[in-house]
Chain A
Amino acid sequence: MWTWFHRLASPPTFYRLADRLVPWLGLLAAGLLGYGIFGGLLLAPADYQQGDAFRIIYVHVPAAALSLSVYVLMAAAGAVAVIWRIKLAECVLVAAAPIGASFTALALVTGMLWGKPMWGAYWVWDARLTSELILLFLYAGVIGLNQAIEEPRAAARACGLLALIGVINVPIVHYSVEWWNSLHQGSTILKLGRPNMSADMARPLYAALLGTYCFFGVALLRRVQNELLLRERGTAWVKEQLRSAHV
């Protein structure tokens, strides 16, 4: 099992695997996101209180879920990079940060656009909003630290450590609406027991959520590939790869 693991972590093997995965993931993402957005904007009924304004959740909830998931993945890659010094993990860590930051920013912006008409304010300093903003700053910190250190491998290890320190914020964001009272409502879909949403509304939301994960997979794999090419430039496999791609 370990030999398989080491083979997978070798840059050329991973590069080729990513090439094969990307089209399928892309197709899945397009299908799921297509249905999720179409279903969410047109098929799902309007909410009994918010009317059509609730439809922002078809973007907001996937973006917010990804902002946390990507951070966890980044921190896990950081741990692997710091402990085992695996090159691929360093690439995943560095490649994931800007994507996660984008999802966090998207979640914040869509939340604010919804907050003004529904709550009556773009922004309040409650526990959920504040911790999500800190998450954005943590992403920015990882991106900045990576740019600040010249040597890419040392930079990635430093970023790994920062990502690990920041991972403490992830459960805080998720449970902020339970541990403390807040203006932000509690979880709708990640709650066991009685569903808080009618099935007509939830179906496109689950599709959009899965589709966004697939889209993240595509974006991450492509970015990791670029990172690998950049870091391994001059090696035989990169030259071979470039020759076969006719560049």
Chain B
Amino acid sequence: MTKRQKRMAAIAALLLGLGLAAALGFTAFRKNMMYFYTPSDLLANAAPLGAKLRLGGLVERGSLRHGEGLRVDFTLADCEHRVPVHYEGILPDLFREGQGIVATGSLQPGGVFVADEVLAKHDENYMPPQVAQSLKGKNGQHSCAPFKPVTPGGAAS
């Protein structure tokens, strides 16, 4: 092997090793890389009461109720399950029924998720209002697809 071929082999081995290490590492820590859990995860694993976590899903249509002051109650749903959420604070502009959001908080006794922060999760679809109108009910509505359960048991149960 010439010197040049040796260097080529060394770089190939370096990239291969790095790729393998990254793949193994990320497989092992897959759950820790997730930004949020879904209602399915919450119900399937019965997350410890009071443990702080982020919950992502769609604000279910017809579930939003405004309480006193800045208090709101709504239901957060993925494709399978739903969890009631209580929040008091300022909502992002994009917050509305049918919109994807990520709420930070904890599950309280009684099964209500009490959030202390709500962020909007926008999806990747952009269109003018007329197009959105004509698509209503089909693609104009946000999909629950981005809210996949993190844990394998999440969807099955």
Given A117-B93, A168-B18, are A185 and B122 also a contact pair (CB < 8 Å)? yes
A57 to B150, CA, bound (A): 29
Whether the pair B36, A84 counts as a contact (CB closer than 8 A) is no
A108 to B126, CA, bound (A): 21
Chain B residue with minimal CB distance to A186? Answer: B124
Q: Which of B11, B30, B35, B133 has the most CB of A within 10 A?
A: B35
Q: Is A121 at the interface (CB under 8 A from chain B)? A: yes
Q: Is B128 at the interface (CB under 8 A from chain A)? A: yes
Q: Is A187 at the interface (CB under 8 A from chain B)? A: yes
Enumerate chain B residues within 8 angstroms of A200, measured Cβ to Cβ: 128
Whether the pair B122, A165 counts as a contact (CB closer than 8 A) is no
Enumerate chain A residues within 8 angstroms of B117, measured Cβ to Cβ: 120-121
How close is A93's CB to chain B, nearest CB, in angstroms? 14
Q: Is B146 at the interface (CB under 8 A from chain A)? A: yes
Encode contact with A along B6-19: 1 for CB under 8 Å, 0 otherwise: 01100100110011
Given A180-B30, A196-B126, A198-B131, are A83 and B11 also a contact pair (CB < 8 Å)? yes
Whether the pair A167, B146 counts as a contact (CB closer than 8 A) is no
Whether the pair B18, A119 counts as a contact (CB closer than 8 A) is no
Whether the pair B8, A50 counts as a contact (CB closer than 8 A) is no
Enumerate chain B residues within 8 angstroms of A74, measured Cβ to Cβ: none
How close is B28's CB to chain A, nearest CB, in angstroms? 13
Enumerate chain A residues within 8 angstroms of B86, measured Cβ to Cβ: none
Given A48-B131, A48-B132, are A83 and B8 also a contact pair (CB < 8 Å)? yes
Whether the pair B92, A118 counts as a contact (CB closer than 8 A) is yes
Whether the pair B119, A120 counts as a contact (CB closer than 8 A) is yes
Whether the pair A183, B126 counts as a contact (CB closer than 8 A) is no
Q: Is A47 at the interface (CB under 8 A from chain B)? A: yes
How close is B96's CB to chain A, nearest CB, in angstroms? 8
Q: Range of interface residues on chain A? A: 35 or more
Q: Is A94 at the interface (CB under 8 A from chain B)? A: no
How close is B131's CB to chain A, nearest CB, in angstroms? 5
Whether the pair B124, A164 counts as a contact (CB closer than 8 A) is no
Whether the pair B127, A181 counts as a contact (CB closer than 8 A) is no
Whether the pair B11, A79 counts as a contact (CB closer than 8 A) is yes
Enumerate chain B residues within 8 angstroms of A201, measured Cβ to Cβ: 126-128
Q: Is A17 at the interface (CB under 8 A from chain B)? A: no
Given A124-B35, A164-B14, are A185 and B121 also a contact pair (CB < 8 Å)? yes
Q: Is A126 at the interface (CB under 8 A from chain B)? A: yes
Whether the pair B11, A164 counts as a contact (CB closer than 8 A) is yes
Whether the pair B94, A49 counts as a contact (CB closer than 8 A) is yes
Encode contact with B along A171-197: 1 for CB under 8 Å, 0 otherwise: 010000001111101111001000011
The 4 A-B residue pairs whose C-beta atoms are closest, nearest first, are A120-B92, A45-B128, A48-B132, A126-B35
**Which B residues contact A (CB, under 8 angstroms)?**
4, 7-8, 11, 14-15, 18-19, 22, 26, 30, 33-36, 56, 90-94, 99, 102, 117-133, 140, 146-148, 150
Q: List 21 A-B contacts (CB under 8 A).
A: A45-B128, A47-B127, A48-B132, A49-B99, A49-B132, A57-B126, A83-B7, A84-B4, A117-B92, A120-B90, A164-B11, A168-B15, A172-B26, A180-B30, A181-B56, A181-B147, A183-B121, A186-B124, A196-B125, A198-B131, A200-B128
**Which A residues contact B (CB, under 8 angstroms)?**
45-50, 54, 57, 79, 82-84, 117-121, 124-127, 164-165, 167-168, 172, 179-183, 185-188, 191, 196-198, 200-201
